Structure 1
Amino acid sequence: MPRATGASARDWIARSFTHVEDVLYVALGVLLAAGAVVLLADATLTFVANLVAGSLPAETRMKSRREMSMCHAISGCPVSERQTQCR
């Protein structure tokens, strides 16, 4: 009979760990979804505010590495100032 008691205790512990694991995964999923919603809402509000203010750029294009290095070479700016001057 001690064998049956030990097996039922193991089953109870295993089920308890499974339930705790399920609760933690659901909580992490809710936190992840809430974070995504907050980021999406912030980006939307920022976009709408810039759209209403008329401060959206007419054209947006990322400079290539070659263009950035040419900008640095032409301007002759020191390394510490390159990030602010060459835009």
Structure 2
Amino acid sequence: MEHAMQTLRGLHTHALTGRVFAWLGQYEVEGTEVRWQAWIERDGRPVDRIEGRTVFNSADMTADKAVTVGVHSRIDAADYDDL
């Protein structure tokens, strides 16, 4: 069965540097997992493309929230110092 990809976008301020990053993500739900990919930008310039899988099995965790948490944590873990 084919699932439609959902789109999500957001902004995230890097936890250590305070720099603001925009991101556009796509995701697909597979049971209690969400598979996602996101394109990261800073000041309108492409910075990175990331992807991951996240489990969202608690009552208050939606697929949108799971993707947002995954993207934000990956941005915080990245070293974008030379931008």
Note whether the superposition's TM-score is higher than 0.5. no
Greater share of residues in strand: 2
TM bin (shorter chain): under 0.3
Q: TM-score, normalised by structure 1?
A: 0.22
* Larger RCO, structure (CA 8 Å, separation 6 or more): 2
Greater share of residues in helix: 1
